Amino acid sequence: MPTIHFVCLVDDEHAAPLAGRFEQVAQLLVRDGKMSSFTVTHDENPQVAPEVDAQLRLTYTTDRDHDVDEVAEITGGMRPHGYRIGVEGVQGSVNQIAMILSRVLTPAADLPADGVQLHREEDFEQPATFPWTVEIYR
């Protein structure tokens, strides 16, 4: 069974509910025939390389327009959590399923109807609610 593994920088208050959100989205993917079944496992203490932890913290801080020297203060109440989503019977690509699931972590951008404005897509990017990395194991 392919496994999609997200590591997210999350405060403890939102860690368990985030696992529930992954389950809700996965249920919709089963309903829509994108996959046949899934499992969601929340790991409260995943093995994370120090560089990955540091990058997640830096991303969270700078995406919110804080200075680099504020990383410890801004992210002090957060830590990496792992979410493993096992998927079976995928119709299409596991990468596509991973990107759909990642929408739980990044809010949708409010895009203009004007196509010319859309050429400056970075103007509309939203910071991730919880910075994340993803790996796919087959």
Q: What is the pLDDT, as a whole number, of residue 91?
A: 96
The C-alpha angle 103, 109, 114, rounded to 5 degrees, equals 140
2-16, pLDDT tens digit by residue?
999 999 999 999 999
17-65, pLDDT tens digit by residue?
999 999 999 999 999 999 999 999 999 999 999 999 999 999 999 999 9
Q: What would the mean pLDDT of 92-106 be, rounded to a whole number?
A: 96
Structural domains in the chain, CATH included, are 3-107+114-137 (3.30.70)
Q: What is the pLDDT, as a whole number, of residue 94?
A: 98
In this prediction, what percent of the chain has a pLDDT beyond 90?
83
The C-alpha angle 75, 16, 85, rounded to 5 degrees, equals 105
For the chain, the maximum distance between any two Cα atoms, rounded to a whole number of angstroms, is 47
Place of tokens 């079944």: 37
Whole-number mean pLDDT of the chain? 94
Q: What's the 3-state SS for the chain?
A: CCEEEEEEEEEHHHHHHHHHHHHHHHHHHHHCCCCCEEEEEEECCCCCCHHHHHHHHHHHHHHCCCCHHHHHHHHCCEEEEEEEEEEECCCCCHHHHHHHHHCCCCCCCCCCCCHHHHCCHHHHCCCCCCCEEEEEEC
In this prediction, what percent of the chain has a pLDDT beyond 70?
100
Q: What would the mean pLDDT of 103-109 be, rounded to a whole number?
A: 87
Q: Which two tokens stand for residue 72?
A: 């410890």
Tell me which of 65 and 120 has the higher pLDDT.
Answer: 65
Q: What would the mean pLDDT of 114-133 be, rounded to a whole number?
A: 83
